[in-house]
Structure 1
Amino acid sequence: MNSLLEQFKYDIKDKKVAVLGIGISNIPLIKYLVNLEVDVTAFDKNTEENLAEALGELSGMPVKYSFGSDYLSGLKGFDLIFRTPGMRPDLPELTEAVNHGAELTSEMEVFLKLCPAQVFAVTGSDGKTTTTTLIYKILSAEGYNCWLGGNIGTPLLSKIDQVQPSDKVILELSSFQLMTIKQSPAVSVITNISPNHLDVHLSLQEYIEAKKNIFLFQKTGNKLVLNFDNDITRDFALEARGEAVYFSRTANLEKGVALKNDKIIVKNHEQETELVDINDIIIPGVHNIENYMAAAAATIEYVKPETIRRVATTFTGVEHRIELVRELNGIKFYNSSIDSSPSRTIAALSTFKNKVILLAGGKDKGIPYEPLGQIIADKVKCLLLIGATAPRIEEAYNNYVHQTDIDSEVKIIHCDTYEEIVTKAYNEAVPGDCVILSPASTSFDMFKNFEQRGNVFKELVNRLE
């Protein structure tokens, strides 16, 4: 019996509970709380009409609602408030509610407190979804019963009654989820850190501090996996409560996961164990080598080396991450809609040997675009731009060419719709070309999320004749 869970169920029945956000991730939470006979009020800034589909799933349940622009005005008097990821915990309405006695939490915070199984969690600016998926695949291939959650998979609090102590739980955690967490997983992985989400975080330092919560509450015997090649994450080892383990593509580590003669190896001083030849990894790109190294460092004590090798040589990748959509008349179309920052686009473009046709642009989230200049000059033959960041991306390229005085002639085309950008990309391509959607920007100007953006792109590509 999970005594912590049983106590939670007993205590929450007497509480007045608010759930902020009626999106996909919170609907299972609302249903779970209702099944526990909790007094639940759901809050959302959208109108009732715009939430018709979500509300349909809650039809007939005894849930109260608050909609519209002032939806947070009625938070006084609640005992427990579930904050949705992406909502700052210091909003005036939340601060006032806490000052009046409310406890502010989230679905993920409660799950971490109550979970009876060992938790592996991954965060980082880039690569966290693939690394999380790899850890899940590796542990599953070894025979463990695994649960995948956080930013991907199913919201797990609604499934917690089914989680057993012998299971493994693998989570992808964003900076938004980590901002207020006070309990760290047993095995924590930070893939890398670069400026990101500065449209929500007040500063880069706040973003970094949020990421650090993934390990700051660990205990002796826990593990922290860090990227030695990243200037920010390298020094986190000094603050580790448990064992800090590095992975590195470039350094000759005494201990950790490293590269040697194109082989990923585990090193423990003089002892070396070969895991996989990087040329046998199916998913392309240097960044995916790093993702495998991080996943190997997290799982090596729990699996046989051949299990990691088997996953590396069979796993074809995660949707929306340099995903081959189709080949038409000798032209390959790739969907990498997940690339919502310049660093992700740089990593994606670096996987291609020849120059590509790049589709980029979207919502501006306040991060630097200057680093895109060089990769566009080096790796792009035609640049098709859309959205608010289009002029910033073009400016980054033009400034780089002007400052370096290099001979670069990238054709730049501005578009207004995705139908236009896909059609024009196809018209510009010749047999042997690769066309890749790698926006370097968020999707929220035109789409609900990067998945919808990628699916629209794939649908349009599959219509081409």
Structure 2
Amino acid sequence: MNQRSKIAVVGYGVEGQAMLDYLVKNNFSNITVCDYNVTLKKKMPDGVSVRLGEHYLEGLEDFDVVFRSPGVNSAKPEFAKARMAGTVVTSSTQYFLEQVPCTVIGVTGTKGKGTTSTLIYEILKAHFRGGRKSVFLGGNIGNSPIEFLDKLKRSSVVVLEMSCFQLGDLQKSPKIAVILNTTTDHLDYYPDRGAYMQAKELILNHQDRDDLAVLNADYPYVKYYKPLVKGGVKLVSVKGRRVEDGVQVKDGTIYYVTDGKEEKIMPVSKIALVGSHNLENVGPAIVVAKEFGVTAKAIAKVVAKFKGLPHRIEFVGRKKGVAYYNDSFSTNPMTSVAAIDSFDEPTFLIAGGSDKGLKYGVWAKRAVLKSSLKG
């Protein structure tokens, strides 16, 4: 791709806008924005063409390069047609991984990606405070890494939250790949659970022998992903399983384990995050932090203060003795179950949303058992 290449940016959401800004800033001059919406909130830079409305995907084969945004389904036949015509169909995530000069930590999973990514970022930022290394956070958490690509040095570290949509068509993997819980989701997008799992595995597929995968030993999926690992692998267990390399929780204490030798990190009771399921997010963050030489004391200090992100079991206030929590980021039955299980007190659950093609039986039984349901 060069400055005169004919480029299409397909999808003008957060990533599409960031990709366009990057291309314009770097003097690419033949750009077309393609989007289903007939009106765009942001004004186009001078010289940028638009293709809007129902037929926005027509003619993609006429471009040299197509940048597909995560929200546009990669299985659409127009992309296959473009590839057959010789068009390079890629994404801003793929382009970033091709160009980035430094270590990238990628985090994916059904839920917990944002919490884990942010916790890793906070630990490393505290560790490298003083300018030894610059640490960046981006991806599905809200800002495209393309926005800071030009600021990166070889000594920098990037933490990326990576959704299944950003992993689609990926031909390069991050040096450290973290896969959290993988339960069924997005069946309004994928034909079945197998296709969803295959999308997640792309974070591992292009790693090398010197790279690292971090997996959760408590989930059956580890048997599916572990054989795909080409480099090192470290496991996390919060349910008492013995781990030779990684993190395990035993008798209310978190340990980092190397070749079977345990190093105490902190008591579980000192974690600020609400909900026992958040141990599954803390564990991988500890593994990654230790890869960068962070001490147990420094890790524990950050984890003890980290209260999480907005809309994830977020305490919003107390009135007349009733505590109110916002967990609107739980858009999946099993993550909602995890939130319900976080409280021992009598609980009222207010729930709603759209159908994603998932099964709600377990969620319904748990909601009735542990709470009074409103919806």
Q: CA separation in 2, counterparts of 1:231 and 1:358?
A: 29
Shift of 1:145: 1.4
Secondary structure of the equivalent of 2:46? coil
Paired position in structure 1 for 2:12: 22
Larger Rg: 1
Contact 1:355 1:378 in 2 (8 A): no
Task: Give the one of 247, 251, 276 matched to 1:257.
Answer: 247
Residues 1:88 and 2:73 aligned together: yes
Shift of 1:297: 1.4
Q: May I ask how many residue pairs the two structures share in their alignment?
A: 368
Q: CA separation in 1, counterparts of 2:265 and 2:324?
A: 32
Overall identity of the aligned pairs, in %: 34
Q: CA separation in 2, counterparts of 1:25 and 1:332?
A: 37
Paired position in structure 1 for 2:82: 97
Shift of 1:157: 1.6
Relative to structure 2, which stretch is displaced further, 65-74 or 240-249?
A: 65-74
Contact 1:193 1:233 in 2 (8 A): no
Shift of 1:17: 0.3
Secondary structure of the equivalent of 1:26? helix
Residues 1:266 and 2:251 aligned together: no
Q: CA separation in 1, counterparts of 2:264 and 2:221?
A: 28
Question: In the TM superposition, what whole-angstrom CA distance separates every residue of 1:133-177 from its partner, at most 9, and x where no partner exists?
Answer: 111111111014111111014211232111011111000111111
For 1:36-55, what aligned pairs fall within 5 Å after superposition? 36-38=26-28, 39-48=30-39, 51=40, 53-55=41-43
Contact 1:86 1:200 in 2 (8 A): no
Paired position in structure 2 for 1:340: 331
Contact 1:227 1:233 in 2 (8 A): yes
Shift of 1:75: 2.0
For 1:333, the aligned partner's letter is Y
Question: In the TM superposition, what whole-angstrom CA distance separates every residue of 1:63-90 from its partner, at most 9, and x where no partner exists?
Answer: 1001111111232310000001032223
Secondary structure of the equivalent of 1:161? helix
Residues 1:140 and 2:125 aligned together: yes
Paired position in structure 1 for 2:321: 330
For 2:32, the aligned partner's letter is T
Secondary structure of the equivalent of 1:25? helix
CA 1:99–1:221 in 2, change beyond 3 Å: closer, same or farther?
same
Paired position in structure 2 for 1:225: 214
Residues 1:196 and 2:181 aligned together: no
Paired position in structure 2 for 1:158: 147
Shift of 1:357: 1.0
For 1:132, the aligned partner's letter is S
Q: CA separation in 2, counterparts of 1:190 and 1:325?
A: 30
Question: In the TM superposition, what whole-angstrom CA distance separates every residue of 1:283-321 from its partner, at most 9, and x where no partner exists?
Answer: 111111111011111221211111210111111211110
Question: In the TM superposition, what whole-angstrom CA distance separates every residue of 1:304-348 from its partner, at most 9, and x where no partner exists?
Answer: 111210111111211110111121222221111110000110111
Secondary structure of the equivalent of 2:62? coil
Shift of 1:270: 4.4
Q: For structure 2, list consecutive stretches of 5 or more residues without a partner in the other structure.
A: none
Paired position in structure 1 for 2:167: 178
Relative to structure 2, which stretch is displaced further, 323-332 or 159-168?
A: 323-332
Q: CA separation in 2, counterparts of 1:201 and 1:95?
A: 17
CA 1:373–1:153 in 2, change beyond 3 Å: closer, same or farther?
closer
Question: In the TM superposition, what whole-angstrom CA distance separates every residue of 1:171-202 from its partner, at most 9, and x where no partner exists?
Answer: 01111111210111110000111110111012
Paired position in structure 2 for 1:462: none
Q: Give TM-score scaled by structure 1 length.
A: 0.77
Q: CA separation in 2, counterparts of 1:133 and 1:237?
A: 25
Shift of 1:35: 2.0
Q: For structure 1, list consecutive stretches of 5 or more residues without a partner in the other structure.
A: 1-10, 386-465
For 1:317-396, what aligned pairs fall within 5 Å after superposition? 317-381=308-372, 383-385=373-375
For 1:163, the aligned partner's letter is L
Q: CA separation in 2, counterparts of 1:309 and 1:78?
A: 51
